[in-house]
Structure 1
Amino acid sequence: MTTKPRLQLALDHTRLDAALLTVERLHPHVDIIEAGTILCISAGIQAVGTLRERCPQHTLVADLKVADAGTTLAEQAFSQGANWMTVICAAPLATMAAALEVAERYQGEIQIELFGRWTLEDAKAWRALGIKQAIYHRGRDAQASGQTWGQQDLDTMKALSDLGIELSITGGITPPDLPLFKQIAVTAFIAGRALAEAADPVAAARQFHSAINEIWRS
């Protein structure tokens, strides 16, 4: 792995004004900004456009977890300034292909959200469509039930990397977790509450960057 992972701020606020306060503080200290599913549902797709206005230089993700209406929802996300949009892994290939067509028209990308049941055969089909990114997700409910990262997760991530899929990793990630993923081709580590709800969010972001720089020395 020669490319250093980036740090992504997930904004899963229920109010846009609260999300913008977090962005105001943290945008100089993160590489990617995500309009999370909760924010997009609570504040509408216009939240993506507002974030684009506030952060014109950042990679911006619309985490819509699209399951259907790929063309319509991708048009909504990318016309608001998103660079990437998420599609849930259970979506039909036709939905993924339709979303990807719109994304490419805007010079954007589709990320497959790996949530629930899927197989490596599914992943091969996504790659065949031309999709290059996926998000390996440990959900909030799984975290609350005590689920931790294990060797099975790492083996699966490695298999996805071997298919040419670039991975972003999320799910209660903290700096001490990062050495687990040293042998994985990681595009980004996604942190939400670990940054937004930290006692000192800027210091928390710096701890992430320090760990990334230490582990992925060039």
Structure 2
Amino acid sequence: MNNLPKLQIALDDQMLSEAIKTMQLVYKEIDIIEIGTILCCSEGMSTVKNLKAMYPDKIILADIKIADAGEILSKMVFDAGADWTTVICCAPIDTVKAALKEAKKRNKDIQIELTGSWTFEQAKQWKEVGVEQVVYHRGRDAQAAGQTWDVHDLNNIERLINMGFKVSVTGGITVKDLKLFKDMAINIFIAGRSIRDSKDPLEAAKEFKTAIKKYWG
């Protein structure tokens, strides 16, 4: 069904070879391949080129969290074959506009990565300049400190959806977490370690897809 949330895998490996091993196992269950910030920094744009060549039918997201030089950096990832890229929420609005303009010229897209501090006043600005996608992110360090999904998160996500954004949800997401969001029109669930580090990554991906169909089918 078209209204089912998509499943995105976050490849936050430090080596392309490790990312490829995971993808060879799970690609049939994955809608979007995220080349994570860690992998982009470690292996560079060759990672984007290689994974797009290997999986041309998948959406490739280069998660570089643009903070400045929006036109230059977005050109870089799009030239390498990325379909989407991310702009960090603290980036100036002119950076957002520059990255979005470059994306639209190529029939590609950007996402605003909501990592760290941001406001709904900023969200209003993003909407006004034409941003369609945001990523609600519970950070890796916050997870390590024991932060869990709570009413504050759910209310924020619902408010973003009501503003008209397509919302991706990420941050240590597990299959058990999905039911927390079952009454929301989530666009994408992003899973990384819960699939990559599983004893059986393919089965883990299938479990996500089964749960998504259960709650949104």
Both structures adopt the same fold (TM-score exceeding 0.5): yes
Partner of 2:38: 38
CA distance in 1, matches of 2:105, 2:36: 23
Post-superposition offset of 1:57: 0.2
TM-score scaled to structure 1, two decimals? 0.97
Post-superposition offset of 1:183: 2.1
Deviates more, 1:2-11 or 1:29-38: 2-11
- Whichever residue aligns with residue 22 of structure 1, its letter is T
- Structure 2 gaps of 5+ residues are none
CA distance in 2, matches of 1:3, 1:83: 21
Secondary structure of 1:8 counterpart: strand
- Whichever residue aligns with residue 94 of structure 2, its letter is A
Partner of 1:127: 127
Secondary structure of 2:4 counterpart: coil
Post-superposition offset of 1:182: 1.4
Partner of 1:73: 73
Residues 176-215 of structure 1 aligned to structure 2 (within 5 Å): 176-215=176-215
Residues 39-118 of structure 1 aligned to structure 2 (within 5 Å): 39-118=39-118
Partner of 2:140: 140
Secondary structure of 2:187 counterpart: strand
CA distance in 1, matches of 2:62, 2:161: 23
Secondary structure of 1:60 counterpart: strand
Post-superposition offset of 1:90: 0.1
Post-superposition offset of 1:21: 1.1
CA distance in 1, matches of 2:213, 2:67: 36
- Structure 1 gaps of 5+ residues are none
Partner of 2:163: 163
CA distance in 2, matches of 1:147, 1:121: 25
Spell out, residue by residue over 1:129-167, the C-alpha distance to the aligned partner (whole angstroms, 9 max, x if none): 100000000111111111000011011111111110111
- Whichever residue aligns with residue 163 of structure 1, its letter is M
1:15 aligned to 2:12? Answer: no
Secondary structure of 2:3 counterpart: coil
- Whichever residue aligns with residue 28 of structure 2, its letter is P
CA distance in 1, matches of 2:36, 2:215: 27
TM-score scaled to structure 2, two decimals? 0.98
Moved beyond 4 Å, runs of 4+ = none
